[in-house]
Structure 1
Amino acid sequence: MSGAFDKKDLKRRMDGAVDALKHEFSGLRTGRASASLLDPVTVTVYGSSMPINQVGSITVPEPRMLAVQVWDQNNVGAVEKAIRNAGIGLNPMIDGQTIRVPVPELNEERRKELTKVAGKYAEQARIAVRNVRRDGMEGLKKLEKDGEIGEDDAKRRADEVQKMTDSTIKEIDSLLEAKEKEIMQV
């Protein structure tokens, strides 16, 4: 059988979309401070863009406060600007070589906004999974057309791909539901 259809690879790619979604969700904040809130922040330093955890250490000194200890004094401004412009609703303050990031209480409006963002992330994951499904189906059609597998085999494998797709989308939906609950919890 040629490389046009590899079920393990399709599964790996679908799982990758779910893992990426979990990572995106970890950056969506709920009411309390967590170092992972700053995961989506990338800082432009030394002429390249890098994750914030590569330019400083992130701690949670209090339940509603993050602190970023920037390793190189010259990067403090860039880190502060990156947090401010990350679109995660945080307002950093510079305190020497440390950047203090108060985590505001979530109001109803902000919670709704965050559930919309979570919904967008989930939709991107669903699209990624459907793209993997399409690749798998195209691979099967090609194998069948080239005479490498029969019609029944192609149909059976297409059903497997569809089942894999359905279960992955179901997982994405339940992750979204859990995240929305967590965000709306006061």
Structure 2
Amino acid sequence: MEIALSLDELRQFSLWSADCAERALPLYEAVAPDDRRPREAIEVVREFGAGGNRTKAIRTAAWAALKAAGEVDDPAAEAAARAAVAAAGSAYLHPLAAATQVKHIVGAAQYAAYAHELAGRDPEAIVDWAIERVPPMVRDVLRRYPNGSPGRSRLGELHRRLETELRRSLPS
């Protein structure tokens, strides 16, 4: 079964994901100040979110940020780079009604929170920030998908918290 996703929905989702990933970017840049790959992944998806085309440049930047994550020798910086990968990937959320797609929806916020935790900071501050600033449309998109399958790891716990809160109805 497929879920209908409009280009506008993908753009709004991409902008929110970029904002979430950007919260962790300083953790990466503190360790690798000359490596712009995670920043570039966030920048290209932000361009898409602002009305640009969904181009190969987004995928290329996502792959480069993933490579950066694998090359850095700092767990918090690695998680921050993975948040950038998730943000870039948000432009390509699949319309398949599969639980695995929920990881793509919460991925940038999840990895940004995890990066903060690994750096000795409060991950809940990032989770709360992401929840407070999520566009209502992202909540609507998430509700079209079945419940995610986050697993039992710490990343899974962060996923579960984000998904639960984002699925919750806002008070009228």
Calculate the TM-score normalised by the size of structure 1. Answer: 0.28
For the pair shown, which has the larger CA radius of gyration, 1 or 2? 1
Calculate the TM-score normalised by the size of structure 2. Answer: 0.30
Q: Comparing both structures, which one devotes a greater share of its residues to strand?
A: 1
